[in-house]
Amino acid sequence: MSSLLTNSTAMTALQTLRSVSSQLSTTQTRISTGQRVATASDNAAYWSIATSMRADNAALSAVSDSLGLSAATVDTEYTALTTVIGDKDSGLTKLQSLLVEAKTAGIDRSKIQADVTQIQQQMKATANAATFNGINWLSTTATTPTTFSLVSSYSRVGSTPTTGSITVTTANYSLYTSAQAGILDTAGSTAPSIDTMSISALTDSAADQTTLDGYIAQVTAGINSVASAAANLGAVKNRLSTNTDFVKSLMDSVDRGIGQLVDADMNQESTRLSALQVQQQLGVQALSIANNSSQSILSLFR
């Protein structure tokens, strides 16, 4: 039955065209954003997971930055410690050889003391210069924190976030302190500190030779203590480096996971776009034909 009031053919064509246009709009949005889940209305569950994971990745990025800052701090302190240990021409190693040399009978110890003084001053200057971002673990004051927490990791299980850290105890690395309790400025039971010891007044007497032996033993112990502190920092340095690599890999993994949830398959979407564009054109054509069918009724009244 042909009716002027109800054109069922046109209505069907219009419904089809609306459906195609809606699908075409969705496909165009996916192509323009690169995501098949761009808003919560697209897929509430996947959108919620992706949003949480993006927040976690932002936290991991902050951890990566913090690891970089911590690594720079540790590297500064480690470099200073190895400089203080020195070699045959500098640092504690040179100081030890000078003290051994001072045991030589008849040697001018006042001239050796000139070198000793320069080494003492250089080691203290090195410790004072070992500052990064206002932090110095080698030359401390009463206001220096006793421990530092270096952020090393971040994880979240359910709704419970956990931030991991590496605790560094300042006393393990202090060469000089305001209370003179560091590795190099602590006085021994029978000898002055490495920082203040002087040999210019010593002679070839047995007592002074024994004093020199005490000085040598004290410097040797100092070398061992500083080397132990440097080794400890070296281990921390390696751990920070490992954590940095892991955090970067973890961030990449999370990005891939988010992509699996929300990214659009561009090959599939481009194919769908072409098909929907053809369907839209056919839908417009079908609607036009359905609308024109009503015009043929007019010919019956001519």
The confidence score (pLDDT) of residue 229 equals 95
**Least confident segment among 30-39, 98-107, 129-138, 202-211:** 30-39
pLDDT exceeds cutoff 70 at 4: no
| Gap between the Cα atoms of 274 and 281, Å rounded | 11
The confidence score (pLDDT) of residue 129 equals 95
Name the residue among 99, 62, 78 with its Cα closest to residue 221.
99
Return the sign of the alpha-carbon dihedral for residues 289, 290, 292, 297: positive
pLDDT exceeds cutoff 70 at 95: yes
The confidence score (pLDDT) of residue 292 equals 75
The domains located in the chain, with CATH, are 39-262 (1.20.1330.10)
- What predicted TM-score, i.e. pTM, was given to this entire model? 0.79
Q: What is the pLDDT of residues 246-268, one digit of tens each?
A: 999 999 999 999 998 888 888 88
Name the residue with higher pLDDT: 279 or 63.
Answer: 63
Under a CB-based contact definition with an 8 Å cutoff, are residues 294 and 4 in contact?
Answer: yes
Other beta carbons within 10 Å of 201? 10
Under a CB-based contact definition with an 8 Å cutoff, are residues 222 and 67 in contact?
Answer: no
Average pLDDT over residues 128-146: 93
**Least confident segment among 69-73, 78-82, 190-194:** 190-194
Average pLDDT over residues 228-255: 93
| Gap between the Cα atoms of 226 and 128, Å rounded | 15
pLDDT exceeds cutoff 60 at 1: no
pLDDT exceeds cutoff 90 at 235: yes
Average pLDDT over residues 62-69: 93
Average pLDDT over residues 185-200: 87
Under a CB-based contact definition with an 8 Å cutoff, are residues 67 and 247 in contact?
Answer: yes
Under a CB-based contact definition with an 8 Å cutoff, are residues 215 and 119 in contact?
Answer: no
| 29, two tokens | 């949005």
The confidence score (pLDDT) of residue 8 equals 75
